[in-house]
Structure 1
Amino acid sequence: MKHTFSVVYFLLAGLYIAFIEQLPGYMGAGVKALPIVLLMFLVSWRLAGVWRSAMVVALLFSAAGDVLLALDSGGSGDKSDSHLFIAGLGSFLMAQLVYAGLFWTHRASGQNRVGLSIFAFVFMSVAGMLVVPYTGDMQAPVMAYILAIGAMLMGAAVCDRPVNRLFAGALLFALSDLVIAVNKFIVPFAWAGIVIMATYYLAQYFIVAGVLAEADKD
């Protein structure tokens, strides 16, 4: 990605992270989604065909998930709204499925990719065993989401794009979601919001960077 674009992206991401506690309701939701909207415009400009369509859709679902989860506290920070959380989870579930379908459709072979796929399977299995027992009534949607992000992570391992960037982005995405789950269902902890958003913004950046690295060859 161009240096100027990267600077603007991380400035917007840093702005949200720096003021994560001070940005209320819809204003905070909008600022949170801005970096992802920027990525959406970039892939729309740089990509073509199925890559452009799928990446725009995945990022659109991601931005919608950002807004819904930002409003999860009812816009005031007083009380969590489980309906908004489930809607946000559903939106990110769709993003993961689109990413997974795109990556698996463009597979490449290689011993290192097999190793990464095994690592992805083990990582998501352990994450599931850690989180699912604590999810109560939300066990089914959380399990569905874990399966989707596992498919996305394994897809990134076998995709024909540069595996170092793409897999790093997918793994950071999985880590961000794991921190969300631990913070919501197991043990809330200080700085969770900052860790979640920092890993999430890095994840989306590296996924897009990995996809764009080979765009000129399509």
Structure 2
Amino acid sequence: MPPLLVLVTAALFVVIAVTDWVAVAQEDRRTEAVVKPAALLALATAALAGGAADSAAGAWLVVALLLGTAGDAFLLGDSPRRFLGGLGAFLVGHLAYVACFATLGISVSWWLAGGAVALAGALVTGRAVLPATLRSGGIGLAAPVAAYMLVIAAMLVAGWGTGLVLVAAGAAVFVASDTVLALDRFARPRDWVAPWPHVAVMVTYHLGQGLIVLGVLRAA
């Protein structure tokens, strides 16, 4: 049975995450400003309570979660500068996830499967998102977004390469979250009605990283 501290911190993460989903659905920006960064901070605390500091993979996991917390704080604003700040924090965070997954070992068959999934997703999403970013913000926006897409694809491949089902599923769900976010921000389909794409982004965002934490802690 998990120690009491792990149960308490995990429950705290769930409560804060669900509160964030409700705030996003109700477009309650004041509540969201508090709970959005708090959710990943709670998840990082739960990871530490679960022994993340005892392994290299766990240490990189906590680094990734803290960078995600910083990225969430940046993205509470809508300005281009804050968007690029959040993009940068998440980009480095994905590199920390890659380092985390690399320490867990590589299954060649799973790695190849992840590569196929990443390639298919990049072809579909990139065709819609990259031209839109170039039109709206020029090369100054399109280049960072393209770099981010390459790094998150690497995170997906590395996550699948571990051969761990929870980690692979979490990485895929995390990528799904960023895909919906990118499409909503730059190439929104006409039938998408706010705030539901935003809710989908946050639900998959928290679920994906929760699965990654569970998978890494079980394996590390």
TM-score (norm: length of structure 2): 0.84
Q: Which one of the candidate residues 83, 86, 89 is aligned to 2:87?
A: 89
Q: Which residue of 2 aligns with 1:186?
A: 187
Mapped pair 1:22 → 2:28: yes
The one-character-per-residue Cα deviations of 1:124-181 (angstroms, maximum 9, x if unpaired) are 2322222111102211000000001000000001125xx2111111111111111111
Q: Which residue of 2 aligns with 1:77?
A: none
Tell me the distance in 2 between the aligned counterparts of 1:146 and 1:19.
Answer: 28
Q: Which one of the candidate residues 194, 205, 212 is aligned to 2:210?
A: 205
Instruction: Tell me by how many angstroms 1:88 deviates.
Output: 0.6
In the alignment, is the contact (CA less than 8 A) between 2:10 and 2:42 conserved in 1? no
Tell me the distance in 2 between the aligned counterparts of 1:37 and 1:159.
Answer: 25
**Structure 2 alignment gaps of length 5 or more:** none
In the alignment, is the contact (CA less than 8 A) between 2:58 and 2:216 conserved in 1? no
Instruction: Tell me by how many angstroms 1:5 deviates.
Output: 4.7
Tell me the distance in 2 between the aligned counterparts of 1:51 and 1:61.
Answer: 15
What amino acid sits opposite 1:134 in the alignment?
A: A
Q: Which residue of 1 aligns with 2:150?
A: 147
Q: Which residue of 2 aligns with 1:63?
A: 69
What amino acid sits opposite 2:182 in the alignment?
A: A
TM-score (norm: length of structure 1): 0.85
Instruction: Tell me by how many angstroms 1:59 deviates.
Output: 0.6
SS at match of 1:108: coil
Q: Which residue of 2 aligns with 1:10?
A: 14
Q: 1:4 to 1:43 in 2, by over 3 A?
A: closer
The one-character-per-residue Cα deviations of 1:18-47 (angstroms, maximum 9, x if unpaired) are 1221132xx533311122111111222312
Any runs of at least 4 consecutive aligned residues in structure 1 with deviations exceeding 6 A, and if so which? none
SS at match of 1:135: helix
Instruction: Tell me by how many angstroms 1:113 deviates.
Output: 4.2
RMSD between superposed Cα atoms in Å: 2.0
Q: Which residue of 2 aligns with 1:177?
A: 178
In the alignment, is the contact (CA less than 8 A) between 2:166 and 2:212 conserved in 1? yes
In the alignment, is the contact (CA less than 8 A) between 1:183 and 1:189 conserved in 2? no
In the alignment, is the contact (CA less than 8 A) between 1:172 and 1:202 conserved in 2? yes
Mapped pair 1:195 → 2:196: no
What amino acid sits opposite 2:72 in the alignment?
A: D
Tell me the distance in 2 between the aligned counterparts of 1:198 and 1:143.
Answer: 24
Of all paired residues, the percent bearing the same amino acid is: 32
Tell me the distance in 2 between the aligned counterparts of 1:154 and 1:107.
Answer: 13
Select between 188-197 and 136-145 the one with higher mean Cα deviation: 188-197
Tell me the distance in 2 between the aligned counterparts of 1:209 and 1:90.
Answer: 25
What amino acid sits opposite 1:53 in the alignment?
A: A
